[in-house]
C-alpha cells in the first residue's frame, strides 16, 4: 500500500473482519487496550468495534497527553500568566480549554487579561520570543515522546543564540512508565483496573523510541504488544495479530507499522532529548496519580530556560471534579458513557473534564462520532498533540 485511501478500503476491512471472527476463539474473551488516543479516534470514527466479534473488547488507555495532564500543572501556568503582565504564555490549542481550578482554563485566563496564545509548534513560541525581546515568552510544553524532541531543539536554539526571554514549562511524559503503572501500580489496583490480554502500541511515539522498549512488558508481564498505525486497517490488522499471539500462548512485540517504526527508533531525536532533559523522580498523572520516573524535566545546564526555576513555580496537587469520570476512563475501568454527565452537562462546547476537550480524548471520540445512543452529536475536529 502506498496511499492513505488504501488503508481505509472497505472491502479489505470486511475481509479482515471475517478473518478476525474466524480466528477469535469463541470459548474465551479478549480484552485489548489501545494506549494511544489516536487509535481510540480511529476505532470510533471508522466503527472498528462494530466489525469485531462480541468477545473482542477494545479498552481506552491513557495515551492522550492533554487528558493525563493534572489540574495543578494548568493552575501553575494560569497563576504565572495572571500575575505577570510581562509574560506571554504559549501552548497548543488542545490545552487552552482544559478545565482548571475555580472554573478557570487557559482560555478563560486570557479573557481575564492574561496574554495566552495558541501556537502550532515549539518553533512558533521561540520565534515569538525573538520578535518580542521586551516580553517573557513561556512555552507550556506537553506531549509524549513524539513532541519532546522539538521542545528540546528550541531550548538548545535559545541557548545557542542567547535568547534570555524564552523559557519552557515542561510537562513531557513517557509511555513505558504509564503502561507499567497500568499493569502493576498499587494505586491503580485500589482505584480499579481491568484484565488485559495485550496492547496496541502507539504509532507516533514508537517512531521516536522504536519497538525495543516494549519488550520488557511482553516478557515480564506476558502481555503481547503490537505497534500499529492510525488507519482503520492498521488497527484491525493489529487486533488480528494480538488474537493470534493470545491463541498461540505468545507474548511478543510485533510491529504492524513497519512503514514508519523501526526497532531502535530515531536515534538522533533520542540523543537530543537525553542532552536537554532528565527523568523526574515522580510526576502526577490524571487517573494514575503519582507515577515514578514517568516524566522529564530540563537539565541544570539549561536551567536558564526552565520556567519552573526561572519564576519559582510550584506544583500543587488538585483533585478532579467529583462528577467527572476522566480518571477511571483513562485507566480503562469505565467508558465515556458510564459517566453521568457525558453528553449532557459535559460536551465539547462545555467540557467538564480533559477527555472531552482533547481531540485525542476518549469522550470526545465517543461524542464526535456518535458511539452512544439518544444524544445528538456534532463533529468538531481539531489539532492534537501526541
Q: What is the pLDDT of residue 289?
A: 84
Q: How far apart are CA 339 and CA 327, in angstroms?
A: 11
**What is d(CA 338, CA 310) in angstroms, rounded to the nearest whole number?**
43
Q: In the CATH scheme, what is the code of domain 10-64+175-255?
A: 3.40.50.11750
pLDDT of residue 193: 55
Instruction: Walk along the chain (386 residues) and give the pLDDT tens digit of each residue.
Output: 567 888 999 999 999 999 999 999 999 999 999 989 899 999 999 999 999 999 999 998 888 888 899 999 999 999 999 999 999 999 999 899 999 999 899 999 999 999 999 999 999 999 999 999 999 999 999 999 999 999 999 999 999 999 999 999 999 999 988 888 877 755 444 545 568 899 999 999 999 999 999 998 899 889 999 999 999 999 999 999 999 999 999 999 999 999 999 999 999 999 999 999 999 999 999 878 888 999 999 999 999 999 999 999 999 999 888 889 988 888 888 889 999 999 999 998 888 888 998 878 899 999 988 755 444 444 444 445 55
Q: Which pTM was predicted?
A: 0.90
pLDDT at 186: 53
Q: Looking at residue 299, what is its pLDDT?
A: 98
| CA dihedral over 28, 220, 36, 374, signed as positive or negative | positive
71-173+269-311: same fold as 10-64+175-255? yes
What are the grid coordinates assigned to 281, written together? Answer: 523522580
CATH number of 71-173+269-311: 3.40.50.11740
Beta pairing class for 225-227 and 198-201: parallel
Q: What residue ranges do the domains of the chain occupy?
A: 10-64+175-255, 71-173+269-311, 325-371
How far, in Å, CA of 181 to CA of 184, rounded?
Answer: 5
CA dist 386 and 206 (Å) reads 11
Amino acid at each position: 500500500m502506498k496511499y492513505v485511501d488504501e488503508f481505509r478500503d472497505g472491502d479489505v476491512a470486511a475481509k479482515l473482519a471475517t478473518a478476525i471472527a474466524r480466528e477469535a476463539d469463541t470459548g474465551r474473551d479478549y480484552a485489548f487496550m489501545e494506549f494511544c488516543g489516536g487509535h481510540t479516534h480511529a476505532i470510533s470514527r471508522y466503527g472498528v468495534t462494530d466489525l469485531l466479534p462480541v468477545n473482542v473488547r477494545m479498552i481506552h488507555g491513557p495515551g492522550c497527553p492533554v487528558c493525563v495532564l493534572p489540574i495543578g500543572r494548568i493552575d501553575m501556568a494560569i497563576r504565572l500568566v495572571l500575575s505577570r503582565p510581562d509574560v506571554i504564555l504559549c501552548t497548543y490549542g488542545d490545552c487552552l480549554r482544559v478545565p482548571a481550578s475555580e472554573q478557570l482554563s487557559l482560555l478563560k485566563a486570557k479573557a481575564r487579561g492574561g496574554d495566552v496564545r495558541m501556537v502550532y509548534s515549539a518553533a512558533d513560541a521561540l520565534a515569538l520570543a525573538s520578535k518580542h525581546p521586551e516580553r517573557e515568552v513561556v512555552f507550556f510544553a506537553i506531549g509524549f515522546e513524539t513532541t519532546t524532541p522539538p521542545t528540546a531543539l528550541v531550548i538548545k536554539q535559545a541557548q545557542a543564540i542567547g535568547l534570555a526571554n524564552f523559557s519552557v514549562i515542561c510537562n513531557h511524559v513517557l509511555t513505558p512508565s504509564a503502561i507499567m503503572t497500568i499493569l502493576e501500580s498499587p494505586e491503580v489496583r485500589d482505584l480499579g483496573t481491568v484484565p488485559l490480554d495485550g496492547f496496541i502500541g502507539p504509532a507516533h511515539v514508537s517512531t521516536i523510541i522504536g519497538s525495543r522498549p516494549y519488550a520488557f512488558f511482553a516478557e515480564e508481564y506476558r502481555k503481547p504488544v503490537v505497534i500499529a498505525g492510525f488507519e482503520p486497517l492498521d488497527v484491525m490488522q493489529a487486533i488480528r495479530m494480538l488474537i493470534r499471539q493470545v491463541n498461540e500462548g505468545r507474548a511478543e512485540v510485533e510491529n504492524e507499522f513497519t512503514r514508519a517504526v523501526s526497532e531502535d527508533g530515531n536515534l538522533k531525536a533520542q540523543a537530543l532529548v537525553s542532552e536537554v532533559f532528565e527523568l523526574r523522580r515522580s510526576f502526577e498523572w490524571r487517573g494514575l496519580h503519582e507515577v515514578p520516573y514517568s516524566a522529564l524535566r530540563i537539565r541544570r545546564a539549561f536551567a536558564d530556560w526552565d520556567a519552573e526555576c526561572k519564576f519559582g513555580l510550584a506544583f500543587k496537587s488538585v483533585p478532579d471534579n467529583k462528577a467527572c469520570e476522566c480518571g477511571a476512563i483513562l485507566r480503562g475501568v469505565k467508558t465515556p458513557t458510564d459517566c453521568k454527565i457525558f453528553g449532557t452537562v459535559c460536551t465539547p462546547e462545555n467540557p467538564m473534564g480533559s477527555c472531552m476537550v482533547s481531540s485525542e480524548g476518549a469522550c470526545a471520540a465517543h461524542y464526535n462520532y456518535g458511539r452512544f445512543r439518544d444524544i445528538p452529536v456534532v463533529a468538531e475536529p481539531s489539532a492534537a498533540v501526541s
